[in-house]
Amino acid sequence: MRYFIGMPNRAQSKADVLQGTLDLMVLQTLATLGPLHGYAIAARLEQVSAGGLRLNMGTLYPGLMRLEQQGLVRGEWGVTDNNRRARFYNITAGGRRQLVTEKAEWDRMVSIMHALLREQG
């Protein structure tokens, strides 16, 4: 249990931003690459961000579980290339619809922030 009095500290607010965008990142990854297990998703995000984005398990797996509970992804047990049992996550039709709207929302937000920061800067 965490309690905040006043403003949350910097590290926490960073994590909050990550939490909000994690759904979008996972959905986009699954929509591009098809079914992946948890580690593959984390590895892909790390690779794309050139090591800038490292998800620990405590963030990634609860996020995946939440997406599954919301019906945006579906997890199924399967076998990896190395013959290991792993849970593969696939994006659902609802997940794709969600991705489209969230992407549009994100683009809008980015353009707003961009315009604002450039103008002020």
Partner 1 sequence: MATWREGIRRLWGTLRRNPRDRDLEEELKLHVELAAEDLRQRGGSPDDARRAARLQAGGVAQAMEALRDQRGLPWLDDLARDVRHGLRALWTTPVFTAVALLTVALGIGANAAIFTIVNDVILRPLGYPKPEQVMFLSTYNALFSTEFPVAPAEYFEFREINRSFADVGAFTTGEVNLTAGDRPLRVRAASVDEHLLNALGLQAAQGRLFARGGNGRERPVGAGRRASTGLGGDSLARAVADRIRRRINRWTDNRRRWSPPRGHRHHAACRGRDGPPHGDLAADRIESCHSEFPRLPHPFSHRPPQ
Interface positions with partner 1 (CB under 8 A): 37-39, 42-43, 54, 56-59, 61-62, 65-66, 68-72, 77, 84-87, 94, 98
Burial 2-25 (b: 16+ CB within 10 A, else e): eeeeeeeeeeeeeeeeeeeebbeb
Q: How far is the CB of 98 from partner 1 (least distance, A)?
A: 7
Q: How far is the CB of 68 from partner 1 (least distance, A)?
A: 8
Nearer CB in complex with partner 1: 6/80: 80
Residue 7 has φ and ψ, to the nearest 5°, of -80, 135
Nearer CB in complex with partner 1: 34/115: 34
Instruction: Please give the Cα distance from 100 to 3 (Å, whole number).
Output: 35
Instruction: Please give the Cα distance from 29 to 98 (Å, whole number).
Output: 14
Q: How far is the CB of 111 from partner 1 (least distance, A)?
A: 25
Nearer CB in complex with partner 1: 26/42: 42
Nearer CB in complex with partner 1: 69/120: 69
Q: How far is the CB of 10 from partner 1 (least distance, A)?
A: 20
**Contacts (Cβ under 8 Å, ≥6 apart) of 66:** 23
